[in-house]
Structure 1
């Protein structure tokens, strides 16, 4: 059984056939949503190797896995300070009009262009670590494409890639997967529209849809350059992600606006949910 079928079986049916899985997560809530699945895969006997930077907001050793870390040119305090300042600028921006929301969208893309590749060169050009990863002979990689470093590693190691994400800012999942996104009822990110739009809203949504390839090209500018340098050929994130084996979409279809998805896109909402503890027994006669 391939690791791709293994992951689906573990998530849906509870199969316990072992495999070797490389995990390169993104920080913050992205990792918290992935961590329960990663630990469960390790608990069921799979060899799971998680690669993380030695300074992060929330990542660290996890149960039933092997953790490998690599040095990065910043401290946790510096990361928190820089991120807080940038997020404050984004969250304090006026979004009361379509033009203001579009300006916020452009600013967000510019911020993410640098933020999401802050670890890329530290990992990808760490020759000892990359050699070690190649020697593991992994069956597949599980990564979050929010930070493209895992996408590049999977392509470099020539192993099947499973992407786990919420909604990407530029909608790269639909672009890379060639998934239909009818502008008449599929709202684009940052528009704050619903699936019931007026004629004006549909027109604005159409503009966002047409700009989607340019938005992804902008956000992945540095990542494309780093990937081309490592792989020694002209590469792009959209092209690499188009070869994804699976997309695990971290949302509940019942809470989303209706939209088409491709056959290799699987919705896995509620990954942060925990099994509730039983309620204490209370006597009515005490």
Structure 2
């Protein structure tokens, strides 16, 4: 989001950045007007939460187990973020200061929708800037077509070519997501209802958005229908460039028939969650596939040895 705010500033737009006093991404903001509010959590807690989530990515679990584990972890986080939101909403001095600016719009990441509550209070339109909403709430909030026969749910390992049984499971999981969504966003809905003095549901906190800026692209996602106010801006993830280390391990979504970045004419076919190993050397990558993983290896002794050890382990 910082890159976007900087671009707006370069085009003479005035921005007021509202951030908690504990954050990772918004540092050195001298060129912006910044307002901070008290956060009831520490930097160490956020770091431990990110570490736990990263470790869980490597665990093999069923889709329903993944969904419930994510729900448990997110509910623990929600308690802190709801409290932080209360600190912001019921700070009259803070809100009065925001009201004096007469904003034209609110730019916010709505995963924790405190910004949307403030936008409704200020009666200004909202622009959502996000990777994707939890539990597929963006599809429900925008009334997007949601063909479950070929759009796999987030917690599955299905492709867009599912068997009948997989389609049934995909269909049922969508309703599990809807239930979890309502439970997860219930504290924010209650907070919004109390603050705005009217009934607000969890989905209502998302359905009012004027524009959705989605930080992904169909190169790495299965194609699905989008509403006209939903814009794919996946390239913004590459705005901040850093040199590669010796190698970079990155997980990509399930790909089928996709062209490899820097891979020449090679194309991936029928590959489940993919492990790519890329090196700094500009050499032609060699694609190997074993079971549910694919590895791009650079033609060096290190990577050839890595490949041989992995295949030997799988054969044993």
- TM-score bucket of the superposed structures, by smaller chain: 0.7 to 0.9
Contact 1:148 1:237 in 2 (8 A): no
CA distance in 1, matches of 2:214, 2:54: 27
- Residue in 2 aligned with 1:238? 203
Mapped to 2, the partners of 1:163 and 1:138 lie a distance apart of 16
Question: Would you say the 8 A contact 2:215–2:237 is kept in 1?
Answer: no
Cα root mean square deviation, aligned: 2.1
Structure 2 counterpart SS, 1:172: helix
Alignment CA distance shift 1:92-1:250 (3 Å): closer
Q: In the TM superposition, what whole-angstrom CA distance separates every residue of 1:154-211 from its partner, at most 9, and x where no partner exists?
A: 1111110111111222111101001111110011111121111111111111002233
SS across alignment from 1:110: helix
1:87 equivalenced with 2:49 (yes/no): no
Name the residue aligned to 2:40: 73
Q: Which residue of 1 aligns with 2:65?
A: 103
1:256 is matched with 221
Q: Residue 199 of structure 1 aligns with which residue?
A: 164
Distance of 2:241 and 2:77 partners within structure 1: 36
Q: Which residue of 2 aligns with 1:283?
A: none
**SS of the residue 1:233 aligns to:** coil
CA contact 1:113–1:221 (8 Å) conserved in 2: no
Pair 1:113 & 2:78 matched: no
Gaps of 5+ in 1: 1-33, 278-286
Question: Which one has more relative contact order, counting CA pairs under 8 Å at least 6 apart?
Answer: 1
Question: Taking structure 1 as the reference length, what is the TM-score of the superposition?
Answer: 0.77
Counterpart residue number, 1:15: none
Q: 1:138 aligns with which of 89, 103, 107?
A: 103
Q: Which has the larger radius of gyration?
A: 2
Name structure 2 gaps, 5 residues minimum.
243-316
Instruction: Give 1:73 deviation, angstroms.
Output: 2.3
Verify the 8 A CA contact 2:107 2:128 in the aligned structure 1: yes
Q: How far apart, in 1, do the equivalents of 2:222 and 2:202 lie?
A: 26
Q: Secondary structure at the match of 1:224?
A: helix
Residue pairs, 1:114-263, within 5 angstroms: 114-116=76-78, 117-118=81-82, 119-263=84-228
> What is the rounded CA distance, in whole Å, between the counterparts of 2:233 and 2:54 in structure 1?
30
Distance 2:203 2:28 in 1: 31
1:181 and 1:260 in contact (8 A); partners too = yes
CA separation in 1, counterparts of 2:18 and 2:7?
Answer: 17
TM-score relative to the length of structure 2: 0.70
The answer (yes or no) to whether the contact 1:93–1:104 under 8 Å persists in 2 is: no
Q: In structure 1, what is the Cα distance between the partners aligned to 2:209 and 2:221?
A: 23
Q: Residue 40 of structure 1 aligns with which residue?
A: 7
SS in 2 for 1:237: coil
Between 178-187 and 233-242, the greater mean CA deviation after superposition: 233-242
Structure 2 residue matching 1:50: 3-state secondary structure: strand
- What is the number of residues matched between the two proteins? 239
